[in-house]
Amino acid sequence: MVEMFAAENGLKGDPRLQAISNAIRVVPHFPKQGIMFQDITTLLLDHKAFKHTVDIFVERYKDMDISLVAGVEARGFMFGPSIALAIGAKFVPLRKPKKLPGEVIAEAYELEYGRDCLEMHVGAVEAGERAIVIDDLVATGGTLSAAIRLLERVGAQVVECGCVIGLREVKGQLRLNGKPLYILVEPREIDGC
């Protein structure tokens, strides 16, 4: 996996990255003791920081011939559709179990604090489509890895994964099977709200 931070990949000193980072609230010990939850709902409340987030992803992906943006439930749904519209791609939601009607294909994965599964509609993806996977945060790489496997099982070519927040060294980096990972900001340690 090639891990790229926006600040080290052409956006060094870009004030949009600091605005994005400042707009994220840290909630200690949520959902369990020891977790420093990166709450992007405060980012969504700041329309400028939210726009900066979408704009940076659009700038990166607009010329990569992407036909599909897959968003991981639930917070990938907050950024993925806007990115898809702006680059002229379709949006495919990757949902938790039993949330999609009709026939689905599923992929199980391990979380930092449990086990889960992603599902998508059969027929939502055509073989050969160039895809990106969008989520809010990457910690272990388990969710993104499941998303990649799910898309590749139906013939998509996953070009890259994009996350708003990511650890400097993703614990499960080998799980992404060499797929590039583009990260806007590192997790915040303190609550600036």
User: For this structure, is 25 an active site residue?
Assistant: no
Written as six digits, the tokens of 64 are 């990569």
Task: Evaluate whether 21 touches 188 at the Cβ level (below 8 Å).
Answer: yes
User: For this structure, is 75 an active site residue?
Assistant: yes
Q: How many CB atoms are closer than 10 A to CB 135?
A: 26
Among the options 60, 75, 95, 175, which is catalytic? 75
> What does each C-alpha distance from 109 to 13, 73, 85, 160 come to in angstroms?
36, 14, 29, 19
Segment holding 181, helix H or strand E: strand 181-185
Detail the DSSP E strand segments found in 29-67. Answer: 36-39
Among the options 25, 95, 103, 112, which is catalytic? 112
Catalytic residues: 75, 112
